[in-house]
A and B are shown apart, each in its own frame.
Chain A
Amino acid sequence: MAKYALRRFITMVVMLVALSLIVFVILELPPGDFAERYVHDLRQSGAQVTYGQVEYYRHMLGLDRPWPERYLNWATNIVTRFDFGWSLTYRLPVTKVIGDRIWFTIILSVVTIGASYLIAIPLGIYSAIKQYSTGDYLLTILGYLGMATPAFLFALLLLYVSTMYFGTSVGGLYSLEFQNAPWSWNKFIDLMRHIWPAVIVLGTSGAASTLRTMRATMLDEKNQLYVTVARAKGVPENKLIQKYPVRAALNPIVSTIGWELATIVSGSPITATVLSLPDIGPIFLKSLTNQDIYLSGTILLIYSCLTIVGTFVSDILLAMLDPRIRYGGIE
């Protein structure tokens, strides 16, 4: 098991390096660079700019170096100093620009995923065991509604209801005193108090599809012969369901944790805008149009990191869950 985890870990690191390279190359692909873009903007605002100035900016920003050299610089600084470069648009280090927002985004995603699994998995199990009962039909309707409602519409509804009927706004994430405060335990608690509307909005469709997946796989598993054998052995029904079919039915859910994480983080900019979440979505969009290569590169890298790390986590969990994967990985 440890050997398997180590091997998967090494693969993950190699993947990350390869990805950072791909990210950088892709960002280099479009014609033009930040210097041209900047000079263009200056011209638009009426300033007199010569071509020499483009070259000047380019040299000053180091954009005239060949890309492999710039990539190596960027990558070395990330590894050695956790320095992701300089955001050309914001004239700030990338880490400063993303800073709080990335932590917020990650907390929000983890809480959302955790909450949606905690709710959806037991409901899915219930739905399958009581197939065709009133509860099952109710959950089925809720599940389809949850999957079919666009998150931003749901966000609007929630905003409307909370303002009209409860007189409070669900938008905004911190109480006033914590708005610009540095991260602390109290700020974290405050965030947890305000985070639930965002969690509901972002988590509903995921929870609904988890519920449906859990129900479907449970229905497959609960009539398998090994479950009947356990029943024939005299294992009590509750214990039996938990030990046998649930274990098997978790498999497809665990194996998608990796995508789930990235989907929610890079999720829906519209929802984030509606709920005025301090997400990294809007910054990402801006950095792309400005060809702010280090900022957009860093965000892209974070997104892909999350996918890769998520996949690593789900691989390890799967191996813990399923002996066939565990042994297949070692031999």
Chain B
Amino acid sequence: MNENDLIEIKNLRVSFPLDEGTVQALDGIDLSIPKGKVIGIVGESGCGKSITARSILQIIPPPGKIDQGEILLRTKLGSMNDDEHIIDLAKLKPDSDLLRQIRWGEISMVFQEPMTSFSAYHSLGDQIMEALLMHKDVSKEEARQAAIEMLDRVGIPNAAVRLNQFPHEFSGGMRQRAMIGMALICNPSMLIADEPTTSLDVTIQAQMLDLMKDLRRDFGSSIMFITHNLGVIAQIADEVSIMYLGKIVEQGTTMDIFHDQKHPYTSSLVEAIPKISDARKKRLTTIRGSVPSPFERPSGCPFHNRCPKMMPGVCDVKVPTPIDFGNGHKAACLLYE
């Protein structure tokens, strides 16, 4: 594991044994998250972005399970002499004390749906303070003060009063702000943001991104930013991984992904971004077909049946392996083999 990496995921495989058959949600993911960087994870719905994130905290919805692979975390938690050591999260039991300490203590998460992320039956303050009381040795009053400061920090006016209010008294944008506040209250070393702006309108989206950029500067946490919106990625990410059907097909710096893509899928995604300059001249480019059913994975390269550069007899037979283009830029495409 590289010295600068906070998390390294190696060959992670997650499957869902369902009545209709087994869905291979993650098919061998390799991903590292350096300290203090923002890593964007991009892909269409159902490609395994959220499952990757949830695997880290072991909160995959049942009956999903990790079959294979390692999720290495560099942490001081669970170490005898308070030194940093490396823990394989995939090996920890979901209800083990160490994993519970790591959840929110080291890695916290903001979810896509601010409307359902909070329990309607408990005040916002109760739920935010719960996180702090669970992980830090603080009194109730201190937790309360910290929660008020945090709400203030994420831009909720009149925080001391708002703290006692219930989720239904907040708008979606306000709830997501509170969620981000709750995620940062234990000062975690990594924040997972699972499409945190998708269900918000565009102006609120922009505010959220500004907020996250500020917070990243102030708290220095790594961020794993999951989205299907490349425009958002361009604004916030340092490095990007493109996922397709449970695999990472290309990864590199944001520069590489936008200006020097290697994989045809990445190129198609980038071309599909609407540009104001061509609005009148041509139709929006789309990717042919749709994501295949999870029960019918294509043979060979999973993208071959939608790929504009598909090579018959090669792409539908051979499984591509990632090729290194230098400086961490990798793509798994048979065009380069």
| Chain A residue with Cβ nearest B107 | A232
* Complex Cα gap A226–B121 (Å): 11
Q: Which of A225, A226, A236, A323 contacts B100 (CB 8 A)?
A: A236
A247 to B166, CA, bound (A): 15
Known: A229-B117, A230-B119. 20 other contacts (CB 8 A): A223-B61, A225-B111, A226-B117, A226-B118, A228-B111, A230-B127, A231-B59, A232-B57, A232-B103, A233-B182, A235-B130, A236-B100, A244-B119, A244-B121, A247-B121, A248-B121, A322-B120, A323-B121, A323-B123, A327-B166
Among residues of A, the one whose C-beta sits closest to the C-beta of B179 is A229
Task: Name the B residues within 8 Å of A236 (CB-CB).
Answer: 95, 100
Query: B102's closest neighbor in chain A, by CB?
Result: A234
Chain A residues whose C-beta falls within 8 Å of the C-beta of B109 in the assembled complex: 229, 232
Decide if B108 touches A323 in the complex (CB within 8 Å). no
| CB pair B104 A234 closer than 8 Å | yes
Residue A83 at the B interface, CB < 8 A?
no
User: B255 near A: Cβ within 8 Å?
Assistant: no
Q: Which residues of A contact B116 (CB under 8 A)?
A: 224-226
Residues of A within 8 A of B88 (CB): none
For the complex, count residues of A whose C-beta is within 8 A of B.
23
Cβ distance A181 to chain B, nearest Cβ, rounded Å: 47
Whether B101 sits at the interface, judged by CB under 8 Å, is yes
- Of A233, A321, A323, chain B has the most CB atoms within 10 Å of the CB of A233
Q: In the complex, what distance in Å separates the CA atom of A303 from the CA atom of B78?
A: 62
**A to B CB contacts below 8 Å, 11 in the list:** A225-B113, A226-B118, A229-B111, A229-B117, A230-B119, A234-B100, A234-B103, A234-B104, A248-B120, A322-B120, A327-B169
Measured CB to CB, the residues of B under 8 A from A are 57, 59, 61-62, 95, 100-105, 108-109, 111, 113, 116-123, 127, 130-131, 134-135, 166, 168-169, 182
Residues of A within 8 A of B134 (CB): 233-235
Instruction: State whether A324 and B168 are in contact (beta carbons under 8 Å apart), knowing that A229-B118, A237-B95, A248-B120 are contacts in the complex.
Output: yes
Q: Give the CA-CA distance A235 to B133 in the complex, in Å.
A: 10
Closest chain B CB from A136 CB (angstroms): 14
Judging by beta carbons under 8 Å apart, are A234 and B168 in contact?
Answer: no
Report if A248-B119 is in contact (Cβ < 8 Å); known contacts: A232-B109, A324-B168. yes
A229: B residues at CB distance < 8 A: 109, 111, 117-118
Residues of A within 8 A of B108 (CB): 232-233
CB contact between B103 and one of A225, A231, A324 (< 8 Å): that residue: A231
The answer to whether B135 touches A234, judged by C-beta atoms less than 8 angstroms apart, is yes
Nearest B-chain residue to A238, judged by Cβ: B95
Q: How far is the CB of A287 from chain B (nearest CB, A)?
A: 46
Chain A residues within CB distance 8 Å of chain B: 223-226, 228-237, 243-244, 247-248, 321-324, 327
B118 contacts across to A, CB distance below 8 A: 226, 229
Nearest Cβ distance between residue B52 and chain A, in whole angstroms?
15
Contact of A233 among B95, B103, B169 (CB under 8 A): B103
**Which chain B positions have C-beta within 8 A of A233?**
103-104, 108, 130-131, 134, 182
CB distance from B273 to the nearest CB of A (A): 29
Q: Is the CB of B130 within 8 A of A324?
A: no
Question: Given A224-B116, A232-B109: A321 and B121 within 8 A (CB)?
Answer: yes
* Cβ distance A211 to chain B, nearest Cβ, rounded Å: 22
Query: Which A residue's beta carbon lies closest to that of B118?
Result: A226
Cα A233 to Cα B186 with chains together (Å): 10
Contacts of B135 in A (CB 8 A): 234
Q: 5 smallest A-B Cβ distances: which pairs?
A: A234-B103, A234-B100, A323-B166, A225-B116, A226-B119
Complex contact A234–B105 (CB within 8 A)? yes
Residues of A close to B59: CB separation below 8 A: 228, 231-232
CA distance A233 to B168 in the complex (A): 21
B169 closest partner in A (C-beta): A327
Smallest beta-carbon distance B119→chain A, Å: 4
Bound state CA distance, A248 and B167, in angstroms?
14
Q: Which residues of B contact A323 (CB under 8 A)?
A: 120-121, 123, 166, 168
Q: A229–B109 Cα gap in the complex (Å)?
A: 8
Q: How far is the CB of B138 from chain A (nearest CB, A)?
A: 15
Taking CB atoms, residues of chain B closer than 8 Å to A230 are: 119, 127, 130
A229, A231, A237, A323: most-surrounded residue (chain B CB, <10 A): A229
CB distance from A245 to the nearest CB of B (A): 9
Q: What is the CB-to-nearest-CB distance from A227 to chain B, in angstroms, rounded to a whole number?
A: 8
Smallest Cβ distance from B19 to chain A, in angstroms? Answer: 12
Q: Write the nearest CB–CB distance from A237 to chain B, whole angstroms.
A: 5
Cα–Cα, bound, A93→B107 (Å): 73
